[in-house]
Chains A and B, each alone.
Chain A
Amino acid sequence: MSRWLSKHALHIYGVLAFAYIFTPIAYVMVFSFNQPARSNLTWRGFTLENWTNPCGAPEVCSALGNSLKIGLASTLIATVLGTMVAFALARYRFRGRTPTNLLIFLPMATPEVVLAASLLTLFLNLRVPLGTATIVIAHVMFSISFVVVAVKARIASLDPRLEQAAQDLYANEFETFRRITLPLVAPGIAGAALLAFSLSFDDFIITNFVSGDVNTFPKFVYVSAQRGIPADAYVIGSAMFLLAMGLVLAAELFRWRRSRRL
């Protein structure tokens, strides 16, 4: 018994650790089926009502719509700009590489509240009206670095012989890039875009500083925490979780099956 225990201690620990990680997620999911009331803190009974009408509470869905819009816009901009920087850093040596790397690293190493406070002082000084545009600006700013690091790692892992082979077969530089390099880097770019979107969609701290009157989903949840969050917010939280997990698991399954075929 004790030998079995010492042999499997790490596995038992793993099960407990994942139980810990999933406890709050399970809570959110379970409470999305709670009978609606002013607040969603105690269990009152099972219902599907929240799931069939997730926009029941005022403002939930408009806040969600804003978050999706902001997320898509900032993901698009951050992915394009970050991928470009990643190619420059991964492919060439040039003077100013080290300061560039530092500039990419620093936003990730600065507490969000400092990023938020400094951006807000900029907007206040220039009298820029706060709203959707300032949120997108902020989200792109903190997402770029993550995109650069993710895409750079993918480019660095490519086999350089594939590109050499293309050039040996008389492909010019542009054709090599379009038909060989880009398709190979694409999964990395897609992963970076997913990361950028989830960073933007879930951001509360910076958004709260630079959003003015515009409501986003995390802001809606935070503000209504004082007087009670409607169960609809739990439905949206659970649905986003299931959607994202589904996407990631499907991609994983796809990769696994492809690697088995090879």
Chain B
Amino acid sequence: MAALTPASVEPDELPRASGRQLRTVLLLLIPGLLWLGVFFVVPIFTLAGTSTQTPSGSGLPGEFVQTFHLANYWDAISAYRGHFARSFFYSILATLLCLAIGYPLAYLIAFRAGRLRNLLLVLVVAPFFTSFVLRTLAWRQILADDGWVVSALKWLHLIPSDLAVTASPIAVVAGITYNFLPFMVLPLYSSLERIDPRLIEAGGDLYGTSFTVLRKVTFPLSMPGVVAGTLLTFIPASGDYVNAALLGNTRTTMIGNVVESRFFRVVDYPTAAALSFILMAIILVLVILYVRRAGTEELV
């Protein structure tokens, strides 16, 4: 649970390591950081290298040479603009839905659950204990057009009777929302839980209605959790391709699906690499803009 908590206080009173301690620190850090360096940082550079390669003269699939062909980026963007737009549209929509579903739930667990708190937190992450692919497939069955959920909603006139849910954008967004909900609830919970309940009581004592207190006191104080939760939902959602592949159709493919098929079906590594890089760059820009606006910079 702690893995997803935002903003731990940085202890300034820690001893500054020197001499023998510095050696201990290095010994502790080196294996882990080396692993991340070799298998996370270096690959980012090989990805950049691959992204500007062009097919070698041999004509064999999977043979590419480095020609610093930056036009790959332009070609990738112009060919898959729509997929990028769709990926970000779906993932932003799913993130907002997660926030709407998750906030009251996190609030309930933080303030009203009493001794059941830990149990309810376990129940929130319970989906992680079944296979991701299996539960996504379960949604395909649950949201089938002839299934009881869709029939019931149509009978209640909550959705139009000619609406197709199977293999539609609705199913993809619903799948993403479901699969990433715990990533939203946990950071929300941990920042709500830290709020001093007396602040909320004070809001009530000063004649704030419960809605005003929520809007003026609780929500602003839970902002670090909102920022962490939306990022932890949005980032993995924008690169996801399992939901689109299992719940969607050929017109709902996201950028992750394109990267996957460029790698394995088309064997066009440079385009796949360029697309991954563009995805990362857009996410980085969006995250920086968002974090600036939301005004929280402590995320680790």
A121 to chain B, nearest CB (A): 4
In the assembled complex, which residues on chain B have CB atoms less than 8 Å from the CB atom of A149?
A: 2-3, 5, 300
Interface string of A68-81 (1 = CB under 8 A from B): 00000000000011
- Asked if residues B299 and A105 are in contact (CB atoms below 8 Å), the reply is yes
Q: Please report the C-alpha to C-alpha distance between residue A28 and residue B29 in the assembled complex, in whole angstroms.
A: 42
- Asked if residues B141 and A92 are in contact (CB atoms below 8 Å), the reply is no
- Asked if residues A240 and B276 are in contact (CB atoms below 8 Å), the reply is no
Interface string of B224-262 (1 = CB under 8 A from A): 000000011001101111100010000000011001100
Majority secondary structure, A binding face = helix
Q: Which of the residues A25, A92, A119 comes within 8 Å of B127, measured between beta carbons? A: A25
In the assembled complex, which residues on chain B have CB atoms less than 8 Å from the CB atom of A92?
A: 14-17, 21, 24-25
B152 to chain A, nearest CB (A): 13
Interface string of B2-30 (1 = CB under 8 A from A): 11010010010011110001101101110
Q: Which of the residues B42, B133, B263 comes within 8 Å of A222, measured between beta carbons? A: B133
Q: Which of the residues A22, A85, A110, A156 comes within 8 Å of B11, measured between beta carbons? A: A156
Q: Of the listed stretches A13-21, A52-60, A164-172, A178-186, name the one at the interface; the rest are far from the partner chain.
A: A13-21
Q: Please report the C-alpha to C-alpha distance between residue A94 and residue B41 in the assembled complex, in whole angstroms.
A: 22
Q: Of the listed stretches B73-81, B115-123, B154-162, name the one at the interface; the rest are far from the partner chain.
A: B115-123
CB of A190 within 8 A of chain B? no
Q: Of the listed stretches B44-52, B193-201, B215-223, name the one at the interface; the rest are far from the partner chain.
A: B44-52
- Asked if residues B31 and A84 are in contact (CB atoms below 8 Å), the reply is yes
Q: Please report the C-alpha to C-alpha distance between residue A121 and residue B51 in the assembled complex, in whole angstroms.
A: 10
B183 to chain A, nearest CB (A): 10
In the assembled complex, which residues on chain B have CB atoms less than 8 Å from the CB atom of A102?
A: 300
CB of A112 within 8 A of chain B? yes
CB of A241 within 8 A of chain B? yes
Of B14, B15, B28, B142, chain A has the most CB atoms within 10 Å of the CB of B28
- Asked if residues B46 and A148 are in contact (CB atoms below 8 Å), the reply is no
Of A10, A122, A138, A245, chain B has the most CB atoms within 10 Å of the CB of A122
- Asked if residues A138 and B39 are in contact (CB atoms below 8 Å), the reply is yes
- Asked if residues B108 and A117 are in contact (CB atoms below 8 Å), the reply is no
CB-nearest residue of chain B relative to A203? B132
Contact of A11 with B2 at beta-carbon distance under 8 Å, contacts A27-B141, A84-B31, A103-B41 already known: no
- Asked if residues B276 and A117 are in contact (CB atoms below 8 Å), the reply is yes
In the assembled complex, which residues on chain B have CB atoms less than 8 Å from the CB atom of A121?
A: 43, 46-47, 49-50, 269, 273
CB-nearest residue of chain A relative to B242? A204
Q: Please report the C-alpha to C-alpha distance between residue A148 and residue B35 in the assembled complex, in whole angstroms.
A: 13
- Asked if residues A119 and B8 are in contact (CB atoms below 8 Å), the reply is no
In the assembled complex, which residues on chain B have CB atoms less than 8 Å from the CB atom of A191?
A: 1-2
In the assembled complex, which residues on chain A have CB atoms less than 8 Å from the CB atom of B139?
A: 24
CB-nearest residue of chain A relative to B30? A84
- Asked if residues B33 and A27 are in contact (CB atoms below 8 Å), the reply is no
Tell me the chain A residues, 102-154 only, with Cβ under 8 Å from chain B: 102-115, 117-122, 124-125, 137-138, 140-141, 144-146, 148-150, 152-154
CB of A33 within 8 A of chain B? no
- Asked if residues A117 and B272 are in contact (CB atoms below 8 Å), the reply is yes
In the assembled complex, which residues on chain B have CB atoms less than 8 Å from the CB atom of A114?
A: 47, 239, 276-277, 279-280
In the assembled complex, which residues on chain A have CB atoms less than 8 Å from the CB atom of B40?
A: 103, 106-107, 115, 118, 141
Q: Which of the residues B108, B124, B273, B287 comes within 8 Å of A10, measured between beta carbons? A: B108
- Asked if residues A113 and B239 are in contact (CB atoms below 8 Å), the reply is yes
CB of B164 within 8 A of chain A? no
- Asked if residues B32 and A21 are in contact (CB atoms below 8 Å), the reply is no
CB of B93 within 8 A of chain A? no
B193 to chain A, nearest CB (A): 13
CB-nearest residue of chain A relative to B115? A256
Which residue numbers of B lie inside 8 Å of A, CB to CB? 1-3, 5, 8, 11, 14-17, 21-22, 24-25, 27-29, 31-33, 35-37, 39-44, 46-47, 49-50, 62, 101, 104-105, 107-108, 112, 118-120, 122-124, 126-135, 137-139, 141-142, 178, 181, 231-232, 235-236, 238-242, 246, 255-256, 259-260, 263, 269, 272-273, 276-277, 279-280, 283, 287, 299-300
Instruction: Jot down 21 A-B pairs with beta carbons below 8 A, ordered by A.
Output: A14-B105, A17-B104, A24-B139, A25-B126, A25-B127, A28-B134, A84-B32, A92-B17, A92-B21, A92-B25, A107-B40, A111-B240, A111-B280, A113-B259, A115-B40, A121-B43, A205-B240, A209-B260, A240-B129, A249-B119, A252-B122
Pick the 4 closest A-B CB pairs, nearest first. Answer: A111-B239, A118-B43, A24-B138, A153-B2
Known A-B contacts: A118-B46, A218-B133. Give 10 more (CB < 8 A).
A13-B105, A17-B104, A23-B142, A27-B138, A81-B35, A113-B279, A115-B43, A119-B39, A150-B2, A225-B137
